[in-house]
Chains A and B, each alone.
Chain A
């Protein structure tokens, strides 16, 4: 496997940046536009992944392993977060029969 990719540096770093920004923006728009809490979660995952990819790209280009280690830890935290978040959603749904964020407005003043 070590020889599969040899011409990596053909791709400029700015490509990664533009791609990740686009993915991130899609995530942001998703968070804004969706009313389904589950869909919002998915959009958040998109944003997380775009950030992960960028970290990994910078790490590879700088030849610094810390970035990739951080990606690993972010994945760890994301997994934990999803587990808890989805459990919360289930609880919320159980108590109010909906996960529409426009209806879940009890935090109002």
Chain B
């Protein structure tokens, strides 16, 4: 019976990949013929089938604690290299499956409403299904090379979807920026994979984990591998120094931002580190590096988010900040904390994006929050859903964000009081920019643009219902993991993931000191008080009157995103252009071109001379022939 259900699970896990691929092919190949209303339904249906399968698999792995491995076929096999095309469903990937397929399905449904009337709607849904396909390869792969395929595949889909409205040149540039920035990280990822193969002789994730657990902590090879993998994670998850692509990626349709650039793809970096937890815990230098990168990213992007005026950009920087927060958790060794925050973040950030999309939809593609205001009354459902998202992400109990953040914060406080305060500060930044956004967009007196616009309308049900489901999840998802302070029994999430991170935890036993109950209460209550004060202050400041138009000093720096783009432009883009120009003008035109031309010319000249030897006179040929034969014979003689 057990074996039977096991093989059943194997075939199911194979179908997981098949459905979205089928959807992509069906919609992609017949996009000219297919009815525009139908494509969204087909795409959603395939993802819905996936979601059902995911529930079955999730139930299976969470009850049996057995990972379902399926070897589809041998992919690369020669000499001592054997890389099968195999997929693994264990508890970690089942969790990711839930997020990808669950959030993915809701966003697919939402997109039916959002993309209605767009010319390229068939193209859009084929790309969306392709994205799901590659994301599932990434999540399900049982070796790093296949993971890399998925990794690149989602990058490709991200590129295609950011530049979805390709007629606008700015969108294409944003797409290219995202693609190139990701390539920088992927180079590191590849080097990491090569190094891993060189060191362990295998790329199978579980085999690598077994072999690495026998290695001493902090070896150089491990350092290189983990840095390489983390470089990939930096690119994909938009961490410093490669984070600037994510805000620009908002050029794509809003459902894309919700699915790819908030809930799933950008969290692939977190997933990668969690997946390779054994590798990372044995390389403390990398762990510290991850911690530092996470903190700085979370801080800087959180600060930038406070002074942005584009609704999607604010959410984008918020995403970067939350990802930084997850990396901070990883750096602190709390893998399940990071995964928990990843999950809840997927819910409420997708909700926020979808709600923002609903606002944009209502205002005819208006994204500037200064031109909004008073929307609370015009589109009440969207407002309510957005408020749920904002409360959840700010970490206000009892919504999901509170629990996931609390899990990370408690680890941070155990690590040290300083670390805890930094983490708290980061999570407080969230409150500031989210409530600023909320109050400016929904409470502030109506701007002229809103007053004159009589077409503001609530979004259709097909958009509202997915958002409502996400809002529900954002409210209740946290209760699977209640802080120890309230109840020590509800540790569903941590227990669920504990088999995955067991080896990592055993290798590096928790070093943090336990806090006294009083401190714990204080670390819990003081931030909550501050949050309350911050919410009130932003209400006073933003909900009543207009935004101050003049920014001063440090604010201006933040509003201009710390001039990171400009610095990159100056440091990398300009020198590259200069160098390219130098190579084009000097090296190519003057040296290489001249060299090639002179080779051609000299060949032509010599040929013109030698041509005269072909006199057509047979006697002459014969003489040459005889002398050549003599020469050959003579050469043989004296040899």
Contacts and interface: CB of A to CB of B under 8 A. Distances in A.
Contact of B616 (A28, A31, A35, A109): A109
Contacts of B617: 101-102, 105, 108
B614 A101 contact: no
B516 interface: no
B611 interface: yes
Interface string B596-629: 0000000000000001001111110011001000
Contact of A104 (B611, B618, B622, B626): B618
Contacts of B611: 109
A32 B618 contact: no
A94 interface: no
A107 B615 CA distance: 8
A106 interface: yes
B611 to A, nearest CB: 6
B616 A105 contact: yes
Contact of A31 (B614, B615, B622): B622
Interface residues of A, number: 12
Nearest to A31: B622
Interface string A26-38: 0010011001000
Interface in A79-109: 101-102, 104-109
A108 B618 CA distance: 10
A107 B616 contact: yes
A108 B626 contact: no
A32 B616 contact: no
Interface size range on B against A: 10 to 19
B622 A32 contact: yes
A109 B614 CA distance: 6
Contacts, number: 29
Nearest to B611: A109
Given A28-B626, A32-B626, A108 B615 contact: yes
A71 B614 CA distance: 36
B586 to A, nearest CB: 41
Contacts of A107: 616, 618
A32 B623 contact: yes
A108 B623 contact: no
B25 to A, nearest CB: 58
Majority SS at the chain A contact face: loop
A101 B618 contact: yes
Contacts of A109: 611, 614, 616
A108 B611 CA distance: 10
Nearest to B627: A32
A97 B611 CA distance: 28
A84 to B, nearest CB: 18
B614 A108 contact: yes
Contacts of B614: 108-109
A105 B623 contact: no
Given A28-B626, A32-B626, A108 B616 contact: yes
Contacts of A108: 614-617
A31 B623 CA distance: 9
A102 B619 CA distance: 7
A108 B612 CA distance: 9
Nearest to B617: A105
Contact of B615 (A28, A35, A105): A105
A106 B617 CA distance: 8
A108 B615 CA distance: 5
Nearest to A35: B619
Interface in A11-57: 28, 31-32, 35
B547 to A, nearest CB: 84
B623 to A, nearest CB: 6
A87 to B, nearest CB: 19
A65 to B, nearest CB: 29
A57 to B, nearest CB: 20
B288 to A, nearest CB: 76
A105 B626 contact: no
Q: Of A31, A35, A106, which is in contact with the most chain B CB atoms at under 10 Å from its CB?
A: A31
A109 B622 CA distance: 17
A47 to B, nearest CB: 11
A102 B616 CA distance: 8
A106 B616 contact: yes
Contacts of A106: 616
A105 B618 contact: yes
Nearest to A109: B614
A104 B622 CA distance: 14
A104 to B, nearest CB: 7
Nearest to A104: B618
A62 to B, nearest CB: 23
Contacts of B618: 101-102, 104-105, 107
Nearest to B618: A101
Contacts of B616: 105-109
A82 B414 CA distance: 106
Contacts of A102: 617-619
A31 B627 CA distance: 13
A75 to B, nearest CB: 24
Nearest to B629: A28
Nearest to B616: A108
A31 B611 CA distance: 24
B480 to A, nearest CB: 88
A107 B613 CA distance: 12
Pairs of residues from A and B, 10 with the lowest C-beta to C-beta distance, nearest first: A108-B616, A105-B616, A101-B618, A109-B614, A107-B616, A105-B617, A101-B619, A32-B622, A109-B611, A31-B622
Given A101-B618, A104-B618, 14 more contacts: A28-B626, A31-B622, A32-B619, A32-B626, A35-B619, A101-B619, A105-B616, A105-B618, A107-B616, A107-B618, A108-B615, A108-B617, A109-B611, A109-B614
9 contacts: A28-B626, A31-B626, A32-B619, A101-B618, A102-B619, A105-B616, A105-B617, A106-B616, A109-B616
Interface of A: 28, 31-32, 35, 101-102, 104-109
